[in-house]
Amino acid sequence: MQAPVEGLEKKLGYRFVNTDLLVRALTHRSCAAEGLAQGGGDNEQLEFLGDSILGFVVSEALVKLRPQAQEGQLSQWKSHLVSATHLHQCAVTIGLGEFLLLGRGEERNGGRGRKTLLANAFEAVIAAIHLDGGIDAACQFVGQHVLPALAEADGDLFETLNHKSVLQERTQALGMPVPRYATVGTSGPEHAKVFTVEARVGDHLIGRATGSSKKAASQQAAERLIQQLNAVEQGQA
C-alpha cells in the first residue's frame, strides 16, 4: 500500500506524517465490511469532519474575496463549491478514484467512478490532512484544489451564478425532491411579454418570479427558493 499512498501524496501536494490517516480516508465502507480494510476502519467519520472543515475554509475564503457581497450571494457560491458535483470534479482532477480501497462488489459496480463516493472520499482526505497537519495544511489543500473554480468563473464572480444549478445541487445534497418549474402566467403585448414562472421543491417550498423571458423568470424563481432554503437552515441552526 505504501507506493500508491506515495503516488497520491504527490497529487495532493501534501506529505503525511501518519499515512494511516490517508489510508483510512481512502477506505470505503464496502472494504471494511468485507474485512479488507487496514486497521478495520472506513472513511465515514473523516467524511463527516471533512465536510465541516471544507465549509469553514470556503466561507472564510469567500468573505475575504468579496467583502461587499450579501449573505445570500455568499451562500449560493458556497453551495456550489461544496456540492457533490464540484467535489467530484476535484476528485477526478487528482485521480482519486484509482487510489480508493473498495470491497469486491463496489469494485465490480464501478465505484471508482461514482460521483457520490468520490466526493465523500475527497472530503475525507481534507479531514485526514487536517488531523495530520492542522488547519493551515487543510486550508492550503482546499485553496489549491477547490477554490480555483472562483478564478475560472467568467465575468463577475457572483452575477454569473446559475441559480437553477445551485438550487438543484442544494436540494440533492439535502435529499429533497428535484425542483420543478412551470410557467403560470403571461402578460403584455407580443413584442414585450412578461412571464411568471413558479418553482417548487416538494409541496411547501414555492417561489414565483416574473421576467422578460421564461429563462430569466425561472432563474429568479430559483434564487428565491435558495433564499427560503437559507432561511430554513438558519432557523434550524
188 backbone φψ class: left, alpha, beta (φ>0; ψ -120 to 50): left
DSSP H helices, 36-103, are 44-65, 71-81, 84-93
Q: Identify whether 51 is a catalytic site residue.
A: yes
Query: Nearest-CA neighbor of 37 among 92, 102, 99?
Result: 102
Q: Which of 51, 132, 169, 223 is catalytic?
A: 51
Q: Identify whether 123 is a catalytic site residue.
A: yes
The residue with cell 421564461 is 214
Pairing of strands 180-187, 194-201: antiparallel
Q: How many helices (H) and strands (E) does the chain have?
A: 12, 3
At 53, give phi and psi (nearest 5°). Answer: -65, -45
72 and 226 in contact (C-beta within 8 Å)? yes
How far is Cα 63 from Cα 223, in angstroms, rounded to an integer? 20
The SS3 of residue 136 is: helix
Q: Which of 42, 47, 106, 123 is catalytic?
A: 123
In eight-state DSSP terms, residue 96 is G
Query: Nearest-CA neighbor of 44 among 29, 33, 32?
Result: 29
What the block records as the C-alpha cell of 159 is: 452575477
What the block records as the C-alpha cell of 57 is: 475554509
List, by residue number, the catalytic residues.
Answer: 51, 123
